[in-house]
Amino acid sequence: MNPTYKKLLARWKDISALASASGLCGWDQETMLPPRGIEARSEQESALSGVIHEKVIDPELGKMLRDLTEHPAGLTADQRACVREWVRDYEHSVKLPPELVREMARVTSLSQAAWIKARKASDFKAFAPWLEKVIALKRREADALGYKGERYDALLDTYEPEMTVAQLDPIVQQVREGLVPIVHAISRSKAKISDELLRRRYPEADQEALCKEIMTIVGLDTEAARLDRSAHPFCCGIAPTDVRITTRYDEHWLPGSLYGVIHESGHALYEQGLPAKHYGTPLAEAVSLGIHESQSRFWENVIGRSRPFVRFIFPRLKKRFPLALGRADAEAFYRSINHVMPSAIRVEADEVTYNMHVVLRYELEKGLMAGRIKVRELPALWNERMKEYLGVTPKNDAEGVLQDTHWPQGLVGYFPTYLLGNLNAAQLWNALKKDVRGAEAQVAKGELSQILGWLRKNVHCHGRRYGPAELIERATGEKPTPRYFLEYLKEKYGEIYQIDQF
Amino acid sequence: MNPTYKKLLARWKDISALASASGLCGWDQETMLPPRGIEARSEQESALSGVIHEKVIDPELGKMLRDLTEHPAGLTADQRACVREWVRDYEHSVKLPPELVREMARVTSLSQAAWIKARKASDFKAFAPWLEKVIALKRREADALGYKGERYDALLDTYEPEMTVAQLDPIVQQVREGLVPIVHAISRSKAKISDELLRRRYPEADQEALCKEIMTIVGLDTEAARLDRSAHPFCCGIAPTDVRITTRYDEHWLPGSLYGVIHESGHALYEQGLPAKHYGTPLAEAVSLGIHESQSRFWENVIGRSRPFVRFIFPRLKKRFPLALGRADAEAFYRSINHVMPSAIRVEADEVTYNMHVVLRYELEKGLMAGRIKVRELPALWNERMKEYLGVTPKNDAEGVLQDTHWPQGLVGYFPTYLLGNLNAAQLWNALKKDVRGAEAQVAKGELSQILGWLRKNVHCHGRRYGPAELIERATGEKPTPRYFLEYLKEKYGEIYQIDQF
């Protein structure tokens, strides 16, 4: 092994191990931490990020990276990919002035606290000064990181490497233009679909047992995973051999845990599928949020909300919940979980309307970054577009512009990855069905190993070897496109809502 | 604040926060870690200890410490105590060659694996070469750390600051000479005491609920604590506001969880009683293992196994376990939990015989370090002394010299702190009873707050402000002495076993 590469590898393995420890601190905070421990925890996390940052920006590291970039002869293709991604991480870190990083941490911590209060009181004015501070800092951050096209590109690239507004705008436009008629057609449909079935009583302990069963059914290695409870569901990949998901239980809303756990299991399958032998290098790291979300949405929606999967799972549900489901059939359950209902709240949105929530947020945050939109204009713009896209008017700002935790946390450029995840999931499924014969029939029998195997081989095992767009193109033979997602929706919901033509 | 002191404080707070994160990794490993995550965890822990070590041995830190040690003017008494303890930690770290630390980590990890196999097969010969390696490394470690009297002093000092063989030998001799006649008198006693009551069926879920109740009864702040399960019970103080204990449940051995949790709660009360405002400095750190163990043994034995406490707790036990305890009374329960029975196994030993197990180990490991005893002689020496001290002959080496995890782990000099803990607990109780009027009557009513308050004020709140011996002297008005422990045993067990004269 090239001696410089060997040194670099050891350093980044250390950094990666420290980042894993920091991940554990975060997981513990949401699941296990005694309430009074929060202050000490924030000191632990801040000490850890300080150490990690110091190690990443070490000029000696930068020198070694330059050496290898200029003299890559003798490096394998995998090693070159690692160097390329290390350079990306190194440059990202050195470009951000430490003073800005500290200020961002301080302001977003305070702005989150202000947001919690403001949302409770549905008082946008109380939160607006904080959002202004956050946006100003994000503009500084983008300028420090640099960009070729729009300022927003710099932030987008943080979550979705290489993605730009120039690429994303046409995609978003296609999605918006494709979705609006679908939403309208469904709202005019006479088909009677309701989610009443899912609101009956589902005892918590049985939901939990079901969730554990589901983890096994989708193919998670339970010797390398955990399921716990938290206020907001998430997946935390500490290592490919240590992946933890969480959920919450509502006795009168079965999909909260059931589809929540399938979603998080999708993330967890990706994390478990990263090659453990490369743990500590970019080859064992997720490439982007848009790819991560493609895996969760694939399992949650494409598989989990499909008719074959429901046919397979329904007899098990009936056995666990005889009181709630005793007289229902699989078809009724299938329709319930695919009930489309435009609403004001993103996290409660169905598969069809979900992306319109994302489109709205993307347009607004892009405008904020470009200076075309002022913070004070947000509530009115938000409500106008909600009306235009989904025919819904939020009751108040708590249900409108104040609903999400992303902006208060300084996560700008994050929302579009939800949309990309949905598009990628449909495009992957389309390609997978060509390679895996009788995929749907396998799903109907609960045989998911070939499907998982395809994802392992075409997505998971690469880590950050290829950028997200190249990864999709290699897996599907086509550049990323919204086409398959829109086709998927039309076919599925045309049948459910008895719509011949959109 | 002195500017050098301010800088030092910030650095050590960072180090302490990283050590807390490492503590969390350790806790998680024993309680939550998915089985396959162990390898990645060991990389995380090793990266963290590497970073901590680097920060502690930083020469700049050493320079600042020397400055303040030479020019302490302007420092408060607390700040001087911190500097003194930081110097202790710094010197301990710089004296150990990194190569030795790494070799110790490597050898003890392998020797633990070898020990697990050897114990299973009761094959001392298979473990002996590993123990020889460990002992050789411990001798090197002691030489690197330095000592005035015996080589063993250097190791003892790691766990019990300032303690030496010269001080410990007379204490151990007094304990041994005091205990042997007590053990003999009890074994000749005609009193019929048995632990059959404790071996009935105690359902696990009820044991767990009882343990949580006990944590509240002894005064733990449950907003700053957790109870979980692990193979071996322990207490992990991540911060004074985040203290975690574990236990295990055996449906046919109630004291395993009940007295295990009281014991760990004693440790946890100490950790919670460390002053949170000083978190990150030696003033919020436990001073020694002998003091830590005094707190666990105080609550487990002095309080928990006392007649007043049993009278208070027994009605609650009866309510939880009506099938097992329906016809028993508090007095029968009191006698059961104070059943004395010499046995080969330390962790199962009662309050009376326990210290003889410790004496035996202390004598052997001291001999090993001094070179007076060879590893190959251990099994025979072990069995001889077991016979002499407790009248017991181990069935095999698995029940004899191979029973403890300490030597395979490289923990030499650790055992005596168990004994010191027992002595300290009795001496503290004796002093406490003079200050807290009607302490026993309070225990009988389950009112433990004044007792905890006394420990908070006299022990917990000081952290490492005073050395362990000074702490005991300040708390009790007397230098540490085995006298109160021996008196306590004679009074308690004389009554139970109807012995007039020892």
Q: What is the pLDDT of residues A334-391, one digit of tens each?
A: 999 999 999 999 999 999 999 999 999 999 999 999 999 999 999 999 999 999 999 9
Model pTM?
0.95
Q: Answer whether B242 sits within 8 Å of A37, measured CB to CB.
A: yes
> Who contacts B181 (Cβ-Cβ below 8 Å, separation ≥6)?
B502
Contacts of B243 in chain A (CB under 8 A): 34
CA distance A158 to A168: 15
Q: Nearest CA of chain A to the CA of B66: how many Å?
A: 25
Predicted pLDDT of residue A501:
85
Q: Which two tokens stand for residue A377?
A: 């204009």
pLDDT in tens, A255-264: 999 999 999 9
CA distance B30 to B229: 8
Contacts of A39 in chain B (CB under 8 A): 241
Q: Nearest CA of chain B to the CA of A50: how many Å?
A: 9
Nearest to A111 by CA among A75, A138, A147: A138
**Do A32 and A244 contact (CB within 8 A), yes or no?**
no
In this structure, the dihedral spanned by the alpha carbons of residues B73, B79, B81 and B86, taken in order and rounded to 10 degrees, is -100
Catalytic residue list contains A264: yes
Architecture of domain B196-342+417-490: Orthogonal Bundle (1.10)
List alpha helices for A32-148, DSSP H. Answer: 38-56, 59-70, 77-95, 98-120, 124-145
Contacts of B279 in chain A (CB under 8 A): 40, 43
Which of A293-297, B188-192, B235-239, B248-252 is least confident? B188-192
Kindly report each contact of residues A72-76 with a partner whose C-beta sits within 8 Å and lies 24 or more positions away, as own/partner.
A74/A2, A75/A2, A75/A5
Higher pLDDT, B1 or A159: A159
Contacts of B28 in chain A (CB under 8 A): 24, 28
A438-456: average pLDDT: 98
Average pLDDT, chain B: 96
In this model, does residue B168 exceed pLDDT 90?
yes
Predicted pLDDT of residue B502:
82
Q: Answer whether B238 sits within 8 Å of A40, measured CB to CB.
A: yes
Predicted pLDDT of residue B501:
85
Q: List the single residue in B with minimal CA-CA distance to A241.
A: B37
| Optimal mutation site among A12, A13, A28, interface B, most CBs of chain B within 10 A | A28
Pairs of residues, one from chain A and one from chain B, whose beta carbons lie less than 8 Å apart = 126
In this model, does residue A206 exceed pLDDT 90?
yes
In chain B, which residues touch A (CB < 8 A)? 13-14, 17-18, 20-22, 24-25, 28, 32-37, 39-41, 43-44, 46-48, 50-51, 221-226, 238-244, 276, 279-280
Q: Answer whether A35 sits within 8 Å of B242, measured CB to CB.
A: no
Contacts of A25 in chain B (CB under 8 A): 21, 24
Nearest to A455 by CA among A429, A480, A416, A494: A429
| Optimal mutation site among A30, A31, A32, interface B, most CBs of chain B within 10 A | A32
pLDDT in tens, B49-77: 999 999 999 999 999 999 999 999 999 99
| Optimal mutation site among B16, B28, B39, B229, interface A, most CBs of chain A within 10 A | B28
Q: Answer whether A34 sits within 8 Å of B239, measured CB to CB.
A: no
Q: List the single residue in B with minimal CA-CA distance to A44.
A: B17
B393-401: average pLDDT: 97
pLDDT in tens, B128-155: 999 999 999 999 999 999 999 999 999 9
Band (pLDDT 50/70/90 cuts) for residue A294 is very high
A145-164: average pLDDT: 97
pLDDT in tens, B425-483: 999 999 999 999 999 999 999 999 999 999 999 999 999 999 999 999 999 999 999 99
Nearest to A25 among B13, B24, B32 (CB): B24
Average pLDDT, chain A: 96
Q: Catalytic residue among A85, A141, A264, A271, which?
A: A264
Nearest to B224 among A32, A34, A276 (CB): A34
Q: Answer whether A34 sits within 8 Å of B279, measured CB to CB.
A: no
Predicted pLDDT of residue B150:
95
CB atoms within 10 A of CB B116: 13
Which of A243-247, A446-450, B42-46, B135-139 is least confident? B42-46
**Do A130 and A408 contact (CB within 8 A), yes or no?**
yes
Q: Answer whether B34 sits within 8 Å of A280, measured CB to CB.
A: no
Contacts of B51 in chain A (CB under 8 A): 18, 51
**Do the strands B242-247 and B225-229 form a parallel or antiparallel pair, or are they unpaired?**
parallel
Q: Answer whether B36 sits within 8 Å of A238, measured CB to CB.
A: no
Q: Answer whether A226 sits within 8 Å of B44, measured CB to CB.
A: no
Band (pLDDT 50/70/90 cuts) for residue A29 is very high
Band (pLDDT 50/70/90 cuts) for residue B87 is very high
In this model, does residue A480 exceed pLDDT 90?
yes
**Do the strands B235-239 and B242-247 form a parallel or antiparallel pair, or are they unpaired?**
antiparallel
- Percentage with pLDDT > 70 across chain B: 100
Complex-level ipTM beyond the 0.85 threshold: yes
CA distance B423 to B468: 12
Contacts of B238 in chain A (CB under 8 A): 37, 40
CA distance A129 to B117: 64
Band (pLDDT 50/70/90 cuts) for residue B156 is very high
Q: List the single residue in B with minimal CA-CA distance to A22.
A: B21
- Percentage with pLDDT > 90 across chain A: 96
Strand order in the sheet with A235-239: A225-229, A242-247, A235-239
Q: Answer whether A25 sits within 8 Å of B21, measured CB to CB.
A: yes
Contacts of A245 in chain B (CB under 8 A): none
Q: List the single residue in A with minimal CA-CA distance to B12.
A: A47
Q: Answer whether A34 sits within 8 Å of B280, measured CB to CB.
A: no
Q: Answer whether B242 sits within 8 Å of A33, measured CB to CB.
A: yes
Q: Answer whether B279 sits within 8 Å of A14, measured CB to CB.
A: no
Predicted pLDDT of residue A26:
94
Predicted pLDDT of residue B309:
98
Band (pLDDT 50/70/90 cuts) for residue A242 is very high
In this model, does residue A465 exceed pLDDT 90?
yes
Q: Answer whether B33 sits within 8 Å of A223, measured CB to CB.
A: no
Active-site residue set of B: 264
> Who contacts B245 (Cβ-Cβ below 8 Å, separation ≥6)?
B215, B225, B226, B227, B228, B233, B234, B235, B236, B261, B264, B265, B267, B268
Residue with tokens 């990389």: B43
Contacts of A102 in chain B (CB under 8 A): none
In this structure, the dihedral spanned by the alpha carbons of residues A104, A108, A110 and A115, taken in order and rounded to 10 degrees, is 160
Q: Nearest CA of chain B to the CA of A243: how many Å?
A: 8
- Phi then psi for A180, rounded to 5 degrees? -55, -50
